[in-house]
Structure 1
Amino acid sequence: MENFTPVSGLIGGLLIGASAALFLLLNGRIAGISGILGGALEQGSAEGAWRYAFLAGLVAAPAAWTAFVPVTVEIEASTPLLIAAGLLVGFGTRLGSGCTSGHGVCGISRLSMRSIVATATFMAFGFLTVFVMRHVIGG
């Protein structure tokens, strides 16, 4: 509980929700990161500029934040484990037809049954993974 930060979590959630709502209202598009990235990587996409700008903002915003607030990140996992995890996330994103941002934030807010089921599945497997890592494997 020492890292419990409800105020910053609430503010962050409000900013994410407002950003997703504004993106939908102003552009008529859902702010699902995997769809935006996939569209940016497609050859001959006529709408690549806004996708690249969106993705650049995802990288630039945390970089700008660290200029004002020192952030320390420690990753206690091996490189092969990180690579395997990234590949599994990518596979799951393709299998689920979207990522947690698209389904969890944008899909649930539109009451999409597919997104509700996908998000429940993400959460259930996240809970299961934490349980196995902490109580079965003992990591």
Structure 2
Amino acid sequence: MTETSYFASLLGGMAIGLAAAVMMALNGRVAGVSGILSSLWRQAPSMPNVAFLGGLCSAVLIYRAVSGEVPAIHVQASPALMILSGLLVGYGSRRASGCTSGHGVVGLARRSPRSIVAVVVFLASGIATVGVMRMVGLP
């Protein structure tokens, strides 16, 4: 890989950091996607939350406008496995009082002890999951 192949990832990471900082500065709230998404079901949607989620959903349109192409996505999992995975991630996010965006991006930047523990658990769980999947022959 060349260093230019990391350019889109670098820009994406910078955009995530900028969005998190703007959300904290203007709204006084952590930019945790699971918390923002769950707030849409628990209460009347606030304009900042709707705008934040709209920005996430429109990112592919912005990418296409800039690059002239849609990023290739290759999913090897079955729909049933993706649904189960999504439910487990949602359940885990609620149990951990946040997701990787809230804990990993904002919580670590704020040096939150709870976020440090959460990110270590997220990473360890991901490593263990990949290890088990490889042992049983799943992609």
Coarse TM-score class (shorter-chain normalised): 0.7 to 0.9
CA-CA distance at 1:106 after TM superposition: 0.5
The letter for the 1-side match of 2:53 is L
- Could you say which residue in structure 2 is the equivalent of 1:23? 23
**Whole-Å Cα distance in 2 between the matches of residues 39 and 84 of structure 1?**
22
**Whole-Å Cα distance in 2 between the matches of residues 41 and 71 of structure 1?**
30
5+ residue gaps, structure 2: none
**Whole-Å Cα distance in 2 between the matches of residues 40 and 122 of structure 1?**
25
- Could you say which residue in structure 2 is the equivalent of 1:36? 36
5+ residue gaps, structure 1: none
The letter for the 2-side match of 1:75 is V
- Name whichever of 8-17 and 55-64 sits farther off: 8-17
Matches within 5 A, 1:50-129: 50-67=48-65, 68-129=68-129
Coordinate RMSD, CA, aligned: 2.0
State, as a whole percentage, how many aligned pairs show the same letter. Answer: 47
Residue 60 to residue 11, structure 1, CA distance change in 2 (3 Å): closer
Cα deviation per residue 1:32-70 (whole Å; 9 max; x = unaligned)? Answer: 111111212224x3x622211211111112133235223
Residue 10 to residue 61, structure 1, CA distance change in 2 (3 Å): closer
Secondary structure of 1:77's partner? coil
**Whole-Å Cα distance in 2 between the matches of residues 70 and 101 of structure 1?**
24
Q: TM-score, normalised by structure 1?
A: 0.86
Number of aligned positions between the proteins? 135
**Whole-Å Cα distance in 2 between the matches of residues 130 and 30 of structure 1?**
29
Cα deviation per residue 1:104-139 (whole Å; 9 max; x = unaligned)? Answer: 0010100000001001100011011111112x1122
- Could you say which residue in structure 1 is the equivalent of 2:136? 137
Q: TM-score, normalised by structure 2?
A: 0.86
**Whole-Å Cα distance in 2 between the matches of residues 39 and 132 of structure 1?**
34
